[in-house]
Amino acid sequence: PRAREPASPRAREPAMPHARLAGLLLPALLQSVRCLALEPPVRPAPPALRRPRPLAMSASGGTGGDSSSDPERWASLRGSDLSRELARRSTLSSRVRTSAPVRFSLAAAADGRQFLVSFARFWTGLGAAVPVNRLMLALIVAAYGLQGVCGRAMLYAGARMNQAILVGQWHRLITPIWLHGSLMHLASNSYSLWHLGPQAEALFGAERFLLLYVLSGVGGNLLGLWMGAARSMSVGASGAVFGLMGGLAGHALRTYGVAGASQTLSSVSRILLLNLFIGSRRGSGIDNLGHVGGFLAG
């Protein structure tokens, strides 16, 4: 018969019963559950807070102190010395500077300055990206679109009414520049601004073009206020457009010997006379005073 191989030492060890293994693991598991659920976690103690250094008033009024554990330093802090030091530092100017109205005013002024700087940067970047004459054209078209949404209320709120201006509604000298009475009125002024705007802006620059446009519109409304009827009502960018023609005519007169100046002057004269002739007809509804005032202002 074959000889039986001797068993290995691991095979000779008796297997651990399941009941004995469960008896060893169960107490450890219960202890872990009790520590996590029933007892708060153990946290390290916070470091001891440092005691503040004492404020010791010397004979000359200064402060000193080297060690926070010196009882003589704490004893030298007297109420009279502290009150004297606070009174010496609390002057009228410091109380005014730290008062609530002054701090609120300074903060409001800083916020207003920041807003103006941001607004100026925005318009500078917009003017560099979009020509001002095209921006004015877009504004009058957008305003006419708002008139269609708001009805005649927007027209009555912003039109030039001499009687309303005389009682203090001075905004009516500016708002009529952006309003128009009909689609044909808007188309006429838009066509003139489309052709005259680029030439005037290239000649005068963006800032001067904007100034010329707005002041010419205001000048036309001022002449209408001065010489017009008390119950008259007028809207339109015609005064501003005629101001552009006036600016071009003035520049052509100053540079009459330069090539192209005479052609510009003759072209502006023809457009001016044609518009004045159309506006002189009975029942045309055209404000010639606004045209003439805008041209003279330009």
CB contact set of 58 (below 8 Å; sequence gap of 6+): 64
Nearest 10 degrees: Cα torsion 185, 289, 266, 297: -110
The number of beta carbons lying within 10 Å of the beta carbon of residue 138 is 11
The answer to whether 58 is a known catalytic residue is: no
From the list 235, 209, 202, 241, the residue with the least C-alpha distance to 221 is: 235
Q: Can you tell me which residue has the tokens 């008896």?
A: 23
CA distance 227 to 221: 10
Query: Which element (helix H / strand E) includes 205?
Result: none
Annotated catalytic residue 216: no
Q: Alpha carbon of 222 to those of 24, 172, 178, 214, 225: distances in Å?
A: 104, 10, 16, 12, 5
Q: How far is CA 255 from the centre of its chain?
A: 42
Candidates 180, 185, 251, 291; catalytic one: 291
Which one from 68, 238, 251, 269 is the annotated catalytic residue? 238
For 293, phi then psi, to 5°, come to: -65, -40
Helices (H), the chain: 9-12, 18-37, 71-75, 79-89, 92-97, 100-129, 132-150, 152-158, 162-166, 183-204, 206-227, 238-254, 261-279, 288-297
> Which residues carry out catalysis?
238, 291
